[in-house]
Amino acid sequence: GPDGRSGQSGHQLARGISAFQRNTAPLVRGELARLAREGQRPSQLFLTCADSRLVTSMITSSGPGDLFVVRNVGNLVPKPGEESGDDSVAAAIEYAVDVLHVRSITVCGHSGCGAMQALLNAEPGAAQTPLKRWLRHGVPSLERMAAKNRPWARLAGRAPADAVEQLCLTNVVQQLEHLRAHESVARALREGALELHGMYFHVGEAQAYLLVERDDGELFDHVGATEDLRHPA
């Protein structure tokens, strides 16, 4: 490879790409050529965790041109101005809303999230690494969970398995709040041009849940096999 290594993972990558060229490229070349000609016009921004078990196209049945995707550790949305030195997430939000005019933004958390686990286990005053600095955008989610003045976000059908799962749910609700604070998002929401969605994907159950705002708090409801997914958060 270009870095002089040719280990197991390099072979695996090359084999996967080669299989794409052989099996899939002939089937999608026409559609990709059209998208290359006409440009992308995705209607959704999908923001989720970098976790390898989340395959965004699989769990949303989407293909080329459908989703503008932002992935980062913990599906976090830094509040406006708090990204200090890296405007990556804010830039993607601005581009998706102001240039691509997406109609919806989904923040998708998932079960067994290592970022949420790390947030829960973080020791105050521990050495700062890039990962720990990044996770500070999840601290408001921890604070939301600790607050006594409102009910926790719930999962339909059962109680959350543990504190990590509770934080995964709470984090989606909190990051949606950060999203609303971004100027382009606030404007598009005021104009009625944008919907926000919260989603939770349970990896072990292969089950998606969508956030519904209820009078008695936030509920993550099962997505059934036959339903029309329209639950603005």
Smallest gap from Cβ 140 to Zn ion, in A, equals 17
166 close to 145: Cβ distance less than 8 angstroms: yes
Judged by beta carbon, residue 64 or residue 114, the one nearer Zn ion is 114
Smallest gap from Cβ 144 to Zn ion, in A, equals 18
Smallest gap from Cβ 202 to Zn ion, in A, equals 12
Expressed in angstroms, the distance from the first to the final Cα of the chain is 46
Smallest gap from Cβ 74 to Zn ion, in A, equals 6
Site of interaction with Zn ion (CB under 5 A): 49, 51, 113, 115
What SS3 string covers the chain?
Answer: CCCCCCCHHHHHHHHHHHHHHHHHHHHHHHHHHHHHHHCCCCCEEEEEECCCCCCHHHHHCCCCCCEEEEEECCCCCCCCCCCCCCCHHHHHHHHHHHHCCCCEEEEEEECCCHHHHHHHHCCCCCCCCHHHHHHHHHHHHHHHHHCCCCCCCEECCCCCCCHHHHHHHHHHHHHHHHHHCCHHHHHHHHCCCCEEEEEEEECCCCEEEEEEEECCEEEEEECCCCCCCCCCC
Smallest gap from Cβ 114 to Zn ion, in A, equals 6
Judged by beta carbon, residue 53 or residue 214, the one nearer Zn ion is 53
Question: Nearest-CA neighbor of 173 among 192, 160, 184?
Answer: 160
What are the tokens at 131?
């990962």
Judged by beta carbon, residue 65 or residue 114, the one nearer Zn ion is 114
Judged by beta carbon, residue 45 or residue 115, the one nearer Zn ion is 115
CA 184 to chain centre: 18
Judged by beta carbon, residue 68 or residue 201, the one nearer Zn ion is 201
